[in-house]
Amino acid sequence: MTKINKKKFFGTDGVRGEVNKFPMTPEIILKLGMSLGSYFQNDSRKNNVLIGKDTRLSGYMLESALVSGFTSVGTDVIMVGPMPTPAVAMLTHSLEANLGVIISASHNLYKDNGIKIFGSDGHKISDSDELEIEKRIMDGVSLSHPDLVGRATRLEGGVGRYIENLKINFKAGKTLSGMKIVIDSANGAAYRIAPQVLRELGATVVSINDKPNGVNINDQCGSTCPEKMIRKVLEEGADIGFALDGDADRLIVCDEKGCLVDGDHLIGAIVNYLKKNNELRKNHVVTTSMSNLGLEIYLKKLGIKLLRSEVGDKYVLEKMISFDTNFGAEKSGHIIFLDNSTTGDGLLAAIKLLSIMLHENKKSSEIFHPFKLFPQILRNIDSSASNSIESEIVKETIDYHNKQLGSSGRILVRQSGTEPLIRIMAEGTDTKSIKEAIHSIEKSFQKVN
């Protein structure tokens, strides 16, 4: 299976890239704001957009470019400052804004930045919307008359609204008193909110990587580097550890023994709990093509159908809506509780997991490793030769190994939507066979390049 992104500016999750290089330049982001403002104008009401950001130094520059773009076409701007992505989605919906925009490159280092966009319903905009916006960036849009230029204001109290929304979703019937939690905020958007909400729920909180300086976001910390979180859990004798990414829409977990919880194990444990408590709609769960076959087999035994989407939490959400189910997730840590949020929310997921622990009255290690995973190997290779994924030799090699593995395994090769990489995944019951498959596919790319 291969997938190529045909869009010029947008990837899997918005627009992303190295700052001051295409497309993350002030000129392009200015045009993006103009194009978004003109495309999502609503004649029946006042047009406004909510803009949040994470803690990257470049956020100031890009925020200014977006504000100029939006106001130049008559759209008012409400700035909320550093704020998790799911908080921007929530506030966009509750304030009835036309759009919500978060300036963040998620789990990437500070030199990158990105733009994620939510519609008035709090859902990420569609591929067709993105293509129309790209057309407007290239063709240009009309500017407003001077007396119709938009205004820019700052929203006070947005953090408090989001925290209260999180606390409402803690339904354990008790507090977190007596529970010790390690939280790694990745020096990102949730550096204040994450420890605050857990303390307000009664937990003893050990907060790490909560001192952003503009350039230390995701630097040897957070969801992509959970080792510090694991060490701190063991040092503190904590009950569980959570690691967020830079915009706090992703969650990585380790148990009280310091063992990382695989994302598919987490999905399986959550779904098992939802099923037992009659909280899983339609007995369907959506994950992506990256989820392990072991999860699919486990869910089947529970009487639950696993539906696979393309990689990207917005594609997970689209399939959830189309099949009318209320839970979906990516094994990378984007977890969507659709009854409570319109997008992946790391802090909401953490609170839900804590509720499960209290209801089950079990340790995290006893809950969050519910089945055996199939061996899986992942490789990333440089995608500077962008057409190599479509070459015949690569296709033939992938097809050959898929046939060799049969029903006991699979190969997935795709272009990353967030980085200049081709991602190769092989899984199966036999580790030797999948190692051989990975090696053979890597060699086929070398022949093309």
Sequence-separated (6 or more) residues with CB below 8 Å from residue 130: 7, 9, 10
* Cα distance between residue 275 and residue 298, in whole Å: 13
From CA 291, how far away is CA 102, in angstroms rounded?
27
> Could you say which of 38, 72, 104, 106 is catalytic?
106
Q: Which amino acid is at 383?
A: S
- Report the distance separating Cα 1 and Cα 410, nearest Å: 10
Strands 76-82 and 152-154: parallel
* Three-state SS at 189: coil
Q: How far apart are CA 313 and CA 249, in angstroms?
A: 10
Query: Active site includes 223?
Result: no
CA distance 439 to 433: 10
Q: Which strands sit side by side in the sheet containing 10-11, from one edge to the other? A: 10-11, 14-18, 112-119, 99-103, 48-53, 76-82, 152-154
d(CA 69, CA 207): 37
Active-site positions read 106
